[in-house]
Amino acid sequence: MTTLTKTEGTPAPNGAESFLSVRDLKVQFSTEDGIVRAVDGLSFDVERGKTLGIVGESGSGKSVTNLTVLGLHNPRTSTVDGEIILDGKELVTAKEKELEQLRGNKMAMIFQDPLTALSPFYTVGRQLSEPFMKHRGASKKEAKDRAIQMLEKVGIPQPKVRFDDYPHQFSGGMRQRAMIAMALMCDPDLLIADEPTTALDVTVQAQILDLLKDLQQEFGSAIIFITHDLGVISHMADDLLVMYAGRAVERGSVREVLHEPKHPYTWGLLSSMPRLDGDLDEKLTPIPGSPPSLLNPPSGCRFHPRCAFKDEVQGSLCSDTRPPLGEGRASACHLTAEQKQTIFIDKIQPRLR
């Protein structure tokens, strides 16, 4: 089961080479309070060497989705349905041993807080070397050379010395660099970065984001970049997926989604964000209410209780029926294309300047 033959049945939309393909993914957790539908019918594709941004607030299911791709969800409390196909290989039904072969090797992850995500008990060098030794069968010496080379690449000064340091001896930015070096040790085809700069300062964030972009150029990895920050994502991603309450509500290229958004939630996000060059007389327009509990999510469109435009949709469609998300550039909303166009031009666009 280690051969990576291409299966036929995975056509990518628009004929682009889809490297990771997620279809109708459903993740549920059973908790004491009931079943949490953390991800509810999510589909997306990532092209080789491209960056997919996933934007959403806390509880939108963006982190759960990506832990599931890596198979790091807790199998005891969660159930996963749907398909995750990485380079032709089905991951939902894959055995644990097969996933272990892929993790850190073909797909790697960068976590949000490098202080807690690196073990305090082992040196940075050791933690970097481990995956290389496991996946490449490298000797300790070879792994050390590779680790030092990677530490240097991500901009750690004196990598030979720092190899033997513990994570707590690194500064915050350096730790995240080490984390990136660790993820790139085996030259993965897919890199999942979960809020990798949220815990960092602005100037350090800018350095790390540029570093990730430059490294992607060199390593050619596909990146799934998860964040709540639209500014960060506009800087990083090629394609964008907006998630709300466990579902994707809008998809498209970064330009399309951020410049001509089509979903009321995306409109809300953009208009509630202050900008450095925004009009100061224009008040921010927040989205009313707060994100729903996934124990008991709203029926129909999950955004409808907070939506300012649900009255423009005929009847009770918004509260009854889940709006589908089409292929390619799409938004999951019952408003007609003309309505979206009119509302965006009349009401939303003026707020964004």
Pick the closer one to another protein by CB: 22 or 242: 242
d(CA 63, CA 240): 15
d(CA 233, CA 212): 12
Pick the closer one to another protein by CB: 3 or 58: 58
CB of 22 to another protein, least distance (A): 18
Side chain identity at 233, as an amino acid letter? I
Pick the closer one to another protein by CB: 22 or 209: 209
Sequence-distant contacts of 199-204: CB under 8 A, at least 24 apart: 199/112, 199/113, 199/114, 199/115, 199/172, 200/172, 200/173, 200/176, 201/172, 201/173, 204/172, 204/173, 204/176
CA nearest to 239, candidates 91, 20, 36, 4: 20
CA angle 349, 255, 179 (to 5 degrees): 125
CB of 324 to another protein, least distance (A): 24
Pick the closer one to another protein by CB: 7 or 171: 171
CB of 341 to another protein, least distance (A): 19
Side chain identity at 26, as an amino acid letter? K
CB of 314 to another protein, least distance (A): 26
CA angle 178, 154, 139 (to 5 degrees): 65
CB of 11 to another protein, least distance (A): 29
CB of 58 to another protein, least distance (A): 6
Pick the closer one to another protein by CB: 77 or 139: 77
User: Is residue 142 exposed (0-12), middle (13-18) or buried (19+ Cβ within 10 Å)?
Assistant: middle
d(CA 22, CA 82): 8
Pick the closer one to another protein by CB: 240 or 325: 240
Pick the closer one to another protein by CB: 229 or 312: 229
Pick the closer one to another protein by CB: 6 or 76: 76
d(CA 65, CA 172): 26
Contacts of 99 (CB under 8 A, 6+ apart): 70, 71, 91
CB of 312 to another protein, least distance (A): 20
Pick the closer one to another protein by CB: 11 or 274: 274
Beta bridge partners, 324, equal none
- Whether the CB-CB separation of 248 and 301 falls below 8 Å is answered with no
CB of 9 to another protein, least distance (A): 27
CB of 8 to another protein, least distance (A): 28
d(CA 166, CA 152): 17
- Measured between alpha carbons, how far apart are the two ends of the chain, in Å? 54
